[in-house]
Amino acid sequence: MTENTTGVQAQQHDIIIRNARVIDGSGEPSFTGDLAILDDRISALGDLSKDRGASEIDAGGKVLAPGFIDSHTHDDHALVATPSMDFKISQGVTTVVTGNCGVSIAPLAIDRRPPPPIDLLSGDPRNFHATFAGYLDALDAEPAAVNAVCQVGHSTLRLAAMERLDRTATGDEIDAMRTTLAESMEAGAAGFSTGLFYPPARAAATEEVIEILEGFSDFGAIHTTHMRDEADHIADSIAETARIGREAKIPVLISHHKCVGRNNHGRSGETLAAIDQARATQLLTLDAYPYVAGSTMLDAGRLMTASKVLVTWSVPHPNYSGWDLEDVAKDMGRSVDDTIEALLPAGGIFFSMDEEDVRKILAYPHTMIGSDGIPGDEHPHPRLWGTFPRVLGHYSRDEGLFDLETAVRKMTSMTAEQFKLKDRGTIRLGAFADLVLFDAETIEDSATFEHPKTPARGIDRVFVNGRLVWSDGGFTGARPGRALRHRH
Ligand SMILES: [Zn+2]
């Protein structure tokens, strides 16, 4: 405490941000005020005209919000490989949830290139970690700019426990996966993800997932899923997801919810009604990203449902990254199917959704925002750099899909609650100082399908654990991120 000129005890802080429009993450209306940071926490809030900070920032009426939590990422290895995480902090993201779609960088000891889609994390087996504890320790040793909440992937466990992946697991294999999952949860894993759509897990029966998860509700874990089918059989997949949650007695989160393929355009009314019905008796939420195109490994099956495909990477033909698949076929003088074969292993962007469905799903009250960005791609989907500003600028401000307070809630407190992140996702006294200062008038995603690696406009400053990581349109060099261990 120091004495100020009026004789009132004034508190000394590290940083004071004055004259901000504070959106606290709860969904409540914003208010104008000041916020102070001491070390890694919010140390005062309100009218701080009598307080002093070692450094002071005039927000000039810009929005001060909790740092965004990206509920759906594939940043497992990016946290190690590109610790500046500029594609995230440039959007105001301060925490990423990793290990999605059944795919995690740990626990897996492997001596060859992992099969797709596990290789979307890294094609180099040396980048995988044999134990979950070892992975989290590696994040501690070389911290990233953002915090990480890490999940265990079902396909990763299958690859470690099973000789062949084209069948459901035996009792012994399920036991082996349960043992590894328990060790990982003890080490601090926040959840268990499945990707039943993908080849490494496609043959897994529903019962396999239920048996692996039984008893893990004691760990307070969540099950997130890239469902078996997001196209013609989406209703069956929602029923399967709900059944896993009910029978394993665990909260479930439907990842990147969408209705894929022309046949299924307009079905979001039906899928959201099914989700509402399940929610009446169990814990079930979802996330989504704000685009009509998805992105994943390239394979022929996906083409049937897409109106256009762009190549995001190819091991044998990296020169075709960013090309339209049809142009690649012409250039190679081959059929589209033969072209795909020639490009593999490879990734693509698939234009396969309907704008009205995207809007309905984003606006659904229980939808969080998750980017699903793939940081290793040479020509990534623009969601990697644009997701959060696109929701705030395009969908909230320009299109009026929901108010700004609601948009912020979908990327902060709602996500923190699902992943049980203590003292994050809200602005209040004593919470961690994960913060973003942005201009509500100008915030805009700049990343496009043509030029995806472009930082957004309108993000002024970003703080992680009280340290400034993004300022004046660039990374500050600070890497205050933490591996947030799940405690149960
Ligand atoms: Zn997925």
DSSP secondary structure, 224-289, as one string:
EEE-S-SSTTHHHHHHHHHHHHHHHT--EEETT----SGGGTTTHHHHHHHHHHHHTTS-EEEEE-
Other Cβ atoms less than 10 A from the Cβ of 83: the count is 17
Distance (Å) from CA 111 to ligand 1 centroid:
25
Indicate if the alpha-carbon torsion angle 120, 265, 410, 417 is positive or negative. negative
Q: Could you tell me the distance, in angstroms and rounded to a whole number, from the CA of residue 62 to the centre of ligand 1?
A: 34
- How many helices (H) and strands (E) are present in the chain, helices listed first? 16, 22
Q: Residue 83 C-alpha to ligand 1 middle, in angstroms? A: 23
Nearest to 289 by CA among 348, 237, 231, 362: 362
Ligand 1 center to 375 CA (angstroms): 14
Region of residue 215 (phi > 0: left; psi between -120 and 50: alpha; otherwise: beta): left
5 pLDDT higher than 60:
no
**Span 461-482, mean pLDDT?**
97
Q: pTM higher than 0.85, yes or no?
A: yes
Q: Is the dihedral of CA 34, 402, 226, 84 positive or negative?
A: negative
* Rounded Cα gap, residues 228 and 240, in angstroms: 9
Task: Give distance in angstroms: CA of 226 to centre of ligand 1.
Answer: 5
159-195 pLDDT per residue, tens: 999 999 999 999 999 999 999 999 999 999 999 999 9
Q: Of 158-167, 216-225, 276-285, which range is least confident?
A: 216-225
Q: Could you give the CA distance from residue 476 to residue 298 in angstroms, rounded to a whole number?
A: 36
Cα–ligand 1 centroid distance for 148 (angstroms): 18
Residue 310 contacts residue 325 (beta carbons within 8 Å): yes
Residue 196 Cα to ligand 1 midpoint, Å, equals: 9
Radius of gyration of the chain (CA): 22
Separation of CA 101 and ligand 1 centre (Å): 4
Centre of ligand 1 to C-alpha 306, Å, is 16
Centroid of ligand 1 to alpha carbon of 231 (angstroms): 13
Distance of CA 256 from the midpoint of ligand 1 (Å):
7
224 Cα–ligand 1 center, Å: 10
The mean of the pLDDT values for the chain is 95
Alpha-carbon distance of 96 to 77, in angstroms, equals 12
Q: How far is the CA of 294 from the centre of ligand 1 (A)?
A: 9
For the stretch 373-416, pLDDT in tens is 999 998 999 999 999 999 999 999 999 999 999 999 999 999 99
For the chain, domains (ranges, CATH) are 66-292+353-420 (3.20.20.140), 296-350 (3.30.1490.130)
